[in-house]
Amino acid sequence: MRKTVRVAAVQAEPKWLRLREGVEQVVELIGAAAVSGAELVAFPETFLPGFPWWRWVETNQWNVEYSTRCRENSMSRDGAEMRAVTAAARRYGIHVVLGFGERQDRRIYMSQAVIDDSGVVLSVRRKAGLNGVERKVFASGAPNLPAVHRTPFGALGALTGQENQRPLLTRALRADGEQIHVAAWPGGMEGDTPGPDSSTTVSRMYALEAGAYVIAPCVVVGDGAWEGGGGQRPTGRARIYGPDGIEVIAPLAEGAQGLLYAELELRGGVDVGIARRPRERRGQSAARTARAGVGRIPSSDRWAMPLTIGSTASGMAAC
């Protein structure tokens, strides 16, 4: 049995450090993807309120100001901003994978939410393996294994940034039968050149190793990332790869803003546990049942499985 699903990868510049405008932008992109027939739209890493590229380019005093603004413009996983996003997913009947800065008390985390087409938040994971620059802005999340979600169109998993290179995390998704993988990236200040740390290289290798489709949304980084700091040429390019590692659709121009669409052909049946409901009934209580997380537990990352493998207390050594 074969099933075709239309997906969309976001390639856009965020409304840097302006949360209200950023949420409006996210809702608009969700609607545009759904109107074009997509069943899934994937956003880049920390799209709200924008990845902290300023850490690479300016002074410590300037960074303190921007780090404070980043915290003030991050959102909670159950606040008004997230409700606006889930309402859009429900209204348009589309699955959403969103990268966002999650504020809790005075800490902010690099989080990634998977939202179903009835507006239910299936999972929120906080990125644990931060690099040195990210740790200056964000707190590290609990080192939990990711979940694969059984959706009407296939088995969906997601990771953010360099998590896509961590074998312990990627193996967990492969072992659970992942068919569609979202590899969310924050873009970069330089052109999209191949190399050992390139998002394009990692995304393509993930597709080959997992035998899964990889949707790789990417932030467009321009002068807006640091308020016109020096004539930055906009960079960033979303990609969509097939299980053979070949791009299934030609990418948008580097630095262009928009949605990259592709038709994915999934082979083999998927036990999603539910029947596809008519669009007008998705808001009812029966449609709001969360679908197929892995290892639901009562914790801050309650939809993720606790990680128990590794040689250190954090368990990240094996990654």
Query: Cβ(112)–Cβ(127) under 8 Å?
Result: yes
Q: Phi and psi (nearest 5°) for 144?
A: -100, 150
Q: Helix-strand-coil percent breakdown of the chain, rounded to 5?
A: 25, 25, 45
Q: What is the mean pLDDT of residues 171-183?
A: 97
Other beta carbons within 10 angstroms of residue 315's beta carbon come to 19
114 pairs with which residues across the strands?
Answer: 97, 123
* Alpha carbons 242 and 274: distance in angstroms, whole number: 26
Query: CB–CB of 41/7 below 8 Å?
Result: yes
Residue 202: its pLDDT value, please?
94
Radius of gyration of the chain from its Cα atoms, rounded to whole angstroms: 18
H-helix segments, the chain: 19-35, 60-72, 80-92, 167-175, 199-210
The least confident of 7-21, 128-142, 166-180, 185-199 is 185-199
Residues in the chain: 319
Prediction pTM value = 0.82
Q: How confident is the model at residue 314, as a pLDDT?
A: 33
Task: State the average pLDDT over residues 288-308.
Answer: 35
73-94 pLDDT, tens digit each: 999 999 999 999 999 999 999 9
Reported confidence tier of residue 56, pLDDT bands at 50, 70, 90: low
Going along the chain from its start, the domains and CATH numbers come out as 2-306 (3.60.110.10)
Predicted confidence (pLDDT) per residue in 185-204, tens digit:
998 766 554 544 589 999 99
